[in-house]
């Protein structure tokens, strides 16, 4: 059986169920790199360009783990996944960066996907081209595309119900959906988490941010559960249209969180060296400061970030929210204390 390797990094957290269903229907075995660990990160840091952002460096590490275990590496050249919008340029050049820096790689499937241009391949043509590498049976490719869309739809339904991408993928693997939903909804506080999925859901890179917040007694929601039409309408409040798909999702979710009365605070996880985030992060931070009434904290990670510092900031943030909530509950029950400011 032919084996295709998919690195557990970058857009894995958006598209894995889609890719997996497509290849499986074509009778191609999908091999995913293991969860990130120190060895994978160190391998990525050694082999990628020093100026690359942390998620790209990590991607290199995941590719290296897979390189001698598979017949092909799947690194699609994602240019645009939505009309009149673009993905960060790093995604366009990933396969070129890999070829330039790493020797002895298996063939890389780097079919371009560009729905913004008439000349580019849209989703059906993209899948047709990828499928034709493995079979000349066009009916089979069409069927595989149908299965992929079905799996993607199911995945997104689970995300909108409140599951996080890793939980939704597990639910798709047979782990009880009800069990995952119950983990997702537990907690005395409710925190909105912002950040690129490849930072947030990679528990090694995020230093298990989600797990830590939950251990401190809070449930979390992320951009994955925010409906697409809400993201669209929120981003229309900006003076200019954002043409980065990932940035748009971040800002649309942030503005939705800031208006959500069920939330007690918002944490934004960013990675050092991210070009688009230097703008998007700034916009979100300014909005939080001047136009929102929710506690907000930005955490920036890079390969040198220490866990102890992050835990201290997190504990202080959660403690501050707990006190604020206690104070609000007191005021709503008994009115303002006489010495209250």
Residues at the interface with ligand SF4 (CB under 6 A): 53, 55-56, 88, 90, 196, 246, 271, 274-277
Least distance from ligand SF4 to the Cβ atom of residue 88, Å: 3
Least distance from ligand SF4 to the Cβ atom of residue 269, Å: 11
How far the first Cα of the chain sits from its last, in Å, is 70
Least distance from ligand SF4 to the Cβ atom of residue 54, Å: 7
Nearest CB to ligand SF4, comparing residues 184 and 269: 269
Nearest CB to ligand SF4, comparing residues 162 and 281: 281
Least distance from ligand SF4 to the Cβ atom of residue 200, Å: 12
List of long-range contacts for 118-122, beta carbons under 8 Å, 24+ apart: 120/79, 120/80
Least distance from ligand SF4 to the Cβ atom of residue 172, Å: 25
Least distance from ligand SF4 to the Cβ atom of residue 34, Å: 21
Structure token digits, residue 213: 């917040």
Nearest CB to ligand SF4, comparing residues 90 and 248: 90
Nearest CB to ligand SF4, comparing residues 7 and 172: 7
Nearest CB to ligand SF4, comparing residues 62 and 144: 62
Least distance from ligand SF4 to the Cβ atom of residue 246, Å: 6
3-state SS string for the chain: CCEEEECCCCCHHHHHHHHHHHHHHCCCEEEECCCCCHHHHHHHHHHCCCCCCHHHHHHHHHHHHHCCCCCEEECCEEEECCCCCECCHHHHCHHHHHHHHCCCCCCEECCEEECCCCCCCCHHHHHHHHHCCCCCCHHHHHHHHHHHHHHHHHHHHHHHCCCCHHHHHHHHCCCCHHHHHHHHHCCCEEEEEEECHHHHCCCCCCCCHHHHHHHCCEEEEEHHHCCHHHHHHHHCCCCCCCCEHHHHHHHHHHHHHHHCCCCCEEEEEEECCCHHHHHHHHHHHHHHHHHCCCCEEEEEECCCCCHHHHHHHHHHHHHHHHHHHHHHHHHHHHCCCCCCC
Q: Please name every residue paired with 300 in a beta bridge, in sequence order, or none if there are none.
A: 270
Least distance from ligand SF4 to the Cβ atom of residue 44, Å: 13
167: left (phi over 0), alpha (psi -120 to 50) or beta: alpha
Handedness of CA 112, 113, 117, 119 (dihedral sign): positive
Nearest CB to ligand SF4, comparing residues 275 and 337: 275
Nearest CB to ligand SF4, comparing residues 202 and 277: 277
Nearest CB to ligand SF4, comparing residues 53 and 297: 53
* Axis-axis angle for helices 177-185, 165-172 (nearest 10): 160
Nearest CB to ligand SF4, comparing residues 114 and 277: 277
Least distance from ligand SF4 to the Cβ atom of residue 22, Å: 23
């Amino acid at each position: 059986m032919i084996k295709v390797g998919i690195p557990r990094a970058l857009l894995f957290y958006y598209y894995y169920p889609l890719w997996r269903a497509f290849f499986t229907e074509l009778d191609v075995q999908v091999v995913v790199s293991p969860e990130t660990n120190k060895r994978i990160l160190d391998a990525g840091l050694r082999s990628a360009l020093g100026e690359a952002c942390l998620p790209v460096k990590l991607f290199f590490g995941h590719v290296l783990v897979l390189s001698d275990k598979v017949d092909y590496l799947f690194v699609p050249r994602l240019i645009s996944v939505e009309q009149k919008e673009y993905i960060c340029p790093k995604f366009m050049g990933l396969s070129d960066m890999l070829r330039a820096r790493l020797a002895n790689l298996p063939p890389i499937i780097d079919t371009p996907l560009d729905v913004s241009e008439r000349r580019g391949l849209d989703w059906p043509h993209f899948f047709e081209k990828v499928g034709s590498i493995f079979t000349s049976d066009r009916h089979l490719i069409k069927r595989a595309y149908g299965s992929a869309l079905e799996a993607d739809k199911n995945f997104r339904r689970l995300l909108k119900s409140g599951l996080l991408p890793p939980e939704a993928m597990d639910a798709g693997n047979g782990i009880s959906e009800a069990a995952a939903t119950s983990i997702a909804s537990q907690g005395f506080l409710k925190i909105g988490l912002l950040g690129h999925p490849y930072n947030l859901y990679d528990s090694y890179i995020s230093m298990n941010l989600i797990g830590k917040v939950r251990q401190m007694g809070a449930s979390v929601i992320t951009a994955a559960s925010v409906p697409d039409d809400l993201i669209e309408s929120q981003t229309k409040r900006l003076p200019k249209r954002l043409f980065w798909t990932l940035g748009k999702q971040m800002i649309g979710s942030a503005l939705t969180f800031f208006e959500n009365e069920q939330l007690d605070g918002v944490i934004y996880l960013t990675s050092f060296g991210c070009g688009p985030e230097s703008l998007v992060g700034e916009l979100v931070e300014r909005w939080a400061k001047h136009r929102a009434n929710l506690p907000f904290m930005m955490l920036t990670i890079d390969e040198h970030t220490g866990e102890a510092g992050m835990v201290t900031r997190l504990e202080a943030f959660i403690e501050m929210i707990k006190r604020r909530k206690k104070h609000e509950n007191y005021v709503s029950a008994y009115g303002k204390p006489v010495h209250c400011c």
